Structure 1
Amino acid sequence: MVILLMNALNSSAQIKLPNVIGNNMVLQSNQVVPIWGSASPKSTITVKFKDQEKEAKTDGKGYWKVNLSAMAPSSLPAEMLITSDKDSSLRLSNILIGEVWLCSGQSNMRYRMKSEYQKPLKTADSLELELSINEPQIRLLLTKKKIGASDIDTSGWELAEGEALSKFSAIGYFFAKNLHRKLNVPIGIICSAVNGTQIEPWTPASAYENSTLFKDKIENNIINGVEAGSLYENMIKPLAPFAIKGFLWYQGESNAMTNDTLYADKMKTLIHSWRERWENPELSFYYVTLAPFNYTRRKDKVAHTVETLPIIWEAQTAALSIPKTEMIPTSDLIDKLNDIHPPYKWEIGRRLSNVALAKQYGYSNLEFTGPRFKEMKLAGKDLVVSFSHSDGLKSSDGKAIRWLEVAGSDGVFKTANGIIKNNKLVVSSPDIVKPMQLRMGWYESAQPNLVNNAGLPVTIFRASVD
Structure 2
Amino acid sequence: MRVTTIFFVIAALLMLSETQAEVVLPRVLGHNMVLQRDKPVCIWGTAVAGEKVSVTFSVQRKETIADVAGKWQVLLDPMNASSEGREMIIAGSNTIKLENILVGEVWLCSGQSNMEFTMRKSSKMKRPDVAGQNPVDELQYAKNPSIRIFQVNRKELIKPDSLHRGWSIARDSALRVFSAPAYFFAKELYSRLHVPVGVISSAVPGSAIEPWIPAEAFNDHAFFINYKVQNDPGKFYTPMIHPLVPFAIKGFLWYQGETNCFLNERIEYTHKMEALIGRWRSDWNDKDLPFYYVQIAPFKYSESKDNKVTLNKESLPEFREAQAAALKIPNTAMIITTDLADNLSDIHPSYKWEVGRRLALLALARDYGFKEIVSTGPVYHGMKIKGNKIELSFSSVGGGLVSKDGKTLSDFLIAGKDKKFVPAQAEIKGNKVVVSSNAVNSPADVRFAWVETAQPNLYNKEGLPAQPFRTDNILINQFKPDSKK
Report the TM-score range of the alignment, normalised by the length of the smaller protein.
Answer: over 0.9
Contact kept in structure 2, 1:378 and 1:465, CA below 8 Å:
no
Higher strand share: 1
Note the 1:345-424 alignment, pairs <5 A: 345-391=352-398, 392-424=400-432
1:233 aligned partner: 238
Change (3 A) 1:158 1:465: closer
Contact kept in structure 2, 1:118 and 1:343, CA below 8 Å:
no
Q: 2:40 aligns with which of 25, 32, 39?
A: 32
Q: In 1, distance between residues paired with 2:380 and 2:294?
A: 18
Moved more, 66-75 or 149-158: 149-158
Q: In 2, distance between residues paired with 1:367 and 1:412?
A: 35
Deviation of residue 422 (structure 1)? 2.4
Deviation of residue 88 (structure 1)? 1.3
Q: In 2, distance between residues paired with 1:34 and 1:99?
A: 15
Change (3 A) 1:201 1:336: same
> 1:21-55, CA deviations, whole angstroms, 9 ceiling, x for partnerless residues?
11111000000000000111012211111111111
Q: In 1, distance between residues paired with 2:460 and 2:71?
A: 53
Amino acid at match of 1:126: P
Amino acid at match of 1:387: F
Secondary structure of 1:464's counterpart equals coil
Q: In 2, distance between residues paired with 1:49 and 1:199?
A: 38
Q: In 2, distance between residues paired with 1:127 and 1:397?
A: 23
2:483 aligned partner: none
Deviation of residue 254 (structure 1)? 0.5
Deviation of residue 146 (structure 1)? 2.5
1:328 aligned partner: 335
- Where in structure 2 are there 5+ consecutive unaligned residues? 1-17, 475-485
TM-score (norm 2): 0.89
Secondary structure of 1:433's counterpart equals coil
Deviation of residue 151 (structure 1)? 5.1
Amino acid at match of 2:100: N
Q: Which contiguous aligned blocks of 4+ residues in structure 1 show a shift greater than 6 angstroms?
A: 10-13
Is the counterpart of residue 293 in structure 1 residue 299 in structure 2? yes
> 1:223-280, CA deviations, whole angstroms, 9 ceiling, x for partnerless residues?
24x1001000110111010000000010000101111122111111111110011111
Amino acid at match of 2:216: S
Contact kept in structure 1, 2:413 and 2:446, CA below 8 Å:
yes
Q: 1:100 aligns with which of 102, 106, 112?
A: 106
2:167 aligned partner: 157
Deviation of residue 63 (structure 1)? 0.4
Q: In 2, distance between residues paired with 1:12 and 1:281?
A: 36
2:478 aligned partner: none
Secondary structure of 1:255's counterpart equals helix
Q: 2:273 aligns with which of 263, 267, 274?
A: 267
Secondary structure of 1:144's counterpart equals coil
Deviation of residue 379 (structure 1)? 1.1
Is the counterpart of residue 136 in structure 1 residue 142 in structure 2? no
Change (3 A) 1:243 1:142: same
RMSD: 2.0
Q: In 2, distance between residues paired with 1:335 and 1:11?
A: 55
Deviation of residue 118 (structure 1)? 6.3
Percentage of matched positions with identical amino acids: 45
Question: How many residue pairs get matched?
Answer: 449
1:430 aligned partner: 438
2:289 aligned partner: 283
Note the 1:301-312 alignment, pairs <5 A: 301-312=308-319
Secondary structure of 2:30's counterpart equals coil
Amino acid at match of 1:445: T
2:211 aligned partner: 201
Change (3 A) 1:190 1:295: same
> 1:273-319, CA deviations, whole angstroms, 9 ceiling, x for partnerless residues?
10011111111001111110000110211111001110111111111
1:447 aligned partner: 455
Amino acid at match of 2:114: N
Contact kept in structure 2, 1:105 and 1:250, CA below 8 Å:
yes
Moved more, 44-53 or 95-104: 44-53
Q: 1:212 aligns with which of 214, 222, 230?
A: 222
Contact kept in structure 2, 1:138 and 1:177, CA below 8 Å:
yes
Amino acid at match of 1:401: L
Q: In 1, distance between residues paired with 2:25 and 2:123?
A: 36
2:186 aligned partner: 176
Amino acid at match of 1:288: V
Q: In 2, distance between residues paired with 1:122 and 1:83?
A: 51
Change (3 A) 1:402 1:306: same
Q: 1:343 aligns with which of 341, 344, 350?
A: 350
2:481 aligned partner: none
Q: 1:314 aligns with which of 316, 321, 326?
A: 321
Q: 1:252 aligns with which of 247, 252, 257?
A: 257
Q: In 1, distance between residues paired with 2:234 and 2:365?
A: 32
Contact kept in structure 1, 2:139 and 2:172, CA below 8 Å:
no
Contact kept in structure 1, 2:180 and 2:352, CA below 8 Å:
yes
Contact kept in structure 1, 2:139 and 2:171, CA below 8 Å:
no
Deviation of residue 415 (structure 1)? 1.2
Q: In 1, distance between residues paired with 2:209 and 2:445?
A: 31
Contact kept in structure 1, 2:380 and 2:393, CA below 8 Å:
yes
Deviation of residue 117 (structure 1)? 9.0
Amino acid at match of 1:187: V
Q: In 2, distance between residues paired with 1:461 and 1:302?
A: 24
Deviation of residue 119 (structure 1)? 1.7
Contact kept in structure 2, 1:436 and 1:465, CA below 8 Å:
no
Deviation of residue 152 (structure 1)? 8.6
Contact kept in structure 1, 2:122 and 2:352, CA below 8 Å:
no
Contact kept in structure 2, 1:126 and 1:346, CA below 8 Å:
yes
Deviation of residue 13 (structure 1)? 6.2
Q: In 2, distance between residues paired with 1:376 and 1:207?
A: 38
Larger Rg belongs to = 2
